Structure 1
């Protein structure tokens, strides 16, 4: 993840830093004091004055006009890598606060810009709760509803999450609440058999909310730790399917509502998350296919846009290809 963005950010920051070093005009006071040095007109203040003059000569201040011109290049880099406009504006404001009209030590300009960018991006992410610990602390079955648009890898993500639960000695049951798409129940049934977990399903065309209700009742009777509800992929604009999702949530009363988004779709993923959040107010997100997302704009933007945390990232085809989201690792990947 972030291969292209990392390369472009590094080049852009270096170019901006060099431009600041070369192009920012020296202040009139700095020019006068440089001339005084040449003329020997320092006076009797000795080393203190020399120190003051040296500080002015080795530092620069950036005007707002110059900042805006330089930021345009960084803005283009971020836009090309699917970073949301609101996020770009936030990064711009952070940079302005840190470097605009502030003394910039020439030798530290690149480091200062990089550190400000890193802190700004790190601040974009909402802190996730430890979902595994939340599950362990509930005595009754912990109900999770997964949803998103078609083709994002939602069902395979659920399978990976089942495997993660098993590693933490937690039992689960699957609810095949996608009674809409052909072969959807066979797909999740295949995973259930492979993982050796029970599956509750209904007839195609039946009410998916009733499948969820039955799964929760079965989990209660078997003292199962977690109920994982797999819903039909749907576009936020499909009124009937969104109403169906709201009914599933109303009936199942989930402890966690998870939006599953495909990282490589960039701004589409961001827009989908925004609209699903407005529709059903989800708790957290899982981003899929991050191993082939060379830009990473969705991962950087989506938490800030929705004000909800990313809890896991998935990649590859193996059941173990799921990792807890870590903003420290993300920023180190970008700037390390």
Structure 2
């Protein structure tokens, strides 16, 4: 396997001079929700307990994290497995470890008269993530299947960064909005309601809403040469999730880092994170394959490149 971006053997682990414990460098969005889990891992020493030292590098955006990872400046990033599948199809040896199944939905104001997607005909929809946002594509497929509706053609879309869509939605500037799950939680806390969740739409389309979309991404060389390190990362993640699933005091400790404006937002963020915790165990690759095929039908090469089917080895089937 050729080195990616100059990283030797696809793996560039720093090692403390005074110990043999490898340092795992995670490049993540500086204010992303994954930081709550990573903070928990570091605070409770779950990384040391599983044989590594976690170093978190805050990045300005997801693209910057990917550049750092591909250039060998980071060992781990967070992305969706569809991106990993695209990279593997292109010859890049990346592997996905589940992190979260949290997804949002299409939301409207609490007083809106809309009852289903057909009521949005002619409406303006704010969408975070762009025209190839996975949630938007799934909702479009649902609308076509159940209502014979071309959601893209029969509505007006406004694309923007998540904070901008949040502002436009809560102010009523747009009639409906699709945003990342944590912004959706804040929108719900502010009185908006979910017209249709992505989980509901996915299940209706024959997909498995339990399939985690987001995860930690590592190089395949790490899995081959240091499988205990990949298992350690997965185990530390699971330890943090188990704590966050049940311990309210841990969330109280994290609250200053959560950007929650009030108690309602805080409670919604905690509930949303907990709902997104995936079950332990291996990913159902058949279910993932069905999702990829649907995403390719909707987004084509622009979304998935040459990944017309799930590439072998996309998922690290760890024990956690």
TM-score, normalising length: structure 2: 0.31
Q: Which structure features the higher share of helix residues?
A: 1
